[in-house]
Amino acid sequence: MTQPVRPEDIRASDTERELVQQWLQRAHGDGSLDLAEFDARLVRTWQAKTRGELAALTADLPSTPVQSAVVVVPTPEPVKSSGGRKALRVLTTIWMSVSALNFALWLLVGLLGGEGFVHPWFLWVSVPAGAVLGAIWLSTGMSASRSTRPAP
């Protein structure tokens, strides 16, 4: 009859080597092993043939082996959909201020310039930006009215 194999003489699997590697990484992260020791033990981990050789690599480390890490993913908070009304109000205020300033400059140049009122150049500044802003207001107004309408 053959004698039974001792537990420390049983061949180690790759899964067992990975567990020892994680244990060593934890010990290195905690400061129990310096980088040189960690590297040397890691090399011996993957060269180990038996469970006894693996056990010797972790014998002097704290007895809490690596547990599987649980990743907690926070649930996203719902995004408030204000429709951008506040941003549009701010942009409209800026547009009106710039348009009023340009009109005032045109008016002052026309009154004090001596040549009378020249071509209304302030319109080239105000009208294109105002048209784009107006189109945005209309498009958001229509989409807001559609979303608040009750379903038939």
Residue 56 one-letter amino acid: A
Q: What was the pLDDT predicted at 147?
A: 47
Mean pLDDT, to the nearest integer, of 135-145? 71
Q: What backbone phi and psi angles, to 5 degrees, belong to 69?
A: -75, 135
Instruction: Check whether 149 has a pLDDT greater than 80.
Output: no
Instruction: Check whether 121 has a pLDDT greater than 90.
Output: no
CA distances from 127 to 95, 135, 142 (A): 10, 12, 22
| pLDDT band for position 36 (cuts 50, 70, 90) | very high
Tokens 């807001």 — which residue? 144
Top pLDDT among 102 and 7 is at 102
Instruction: Check whether 93 has a pLDDT greater than 60.
Output: yes
73-83 pLDDT, tens per residue?
677 777 666 66
Alpha carbon distance 21, 18 (integer Å): 5
Q: What was the pLDDT predicted at 1?
A: 56
| Residue 69 backbone zone (phi > 0: left; psi -120 to 50: alpha; other: beta) | beta
Instruction: Check whether 148 has a pLDDT greater than 70.
Output: no
H-helix or E-strand spanning residue 141: helix 122-148
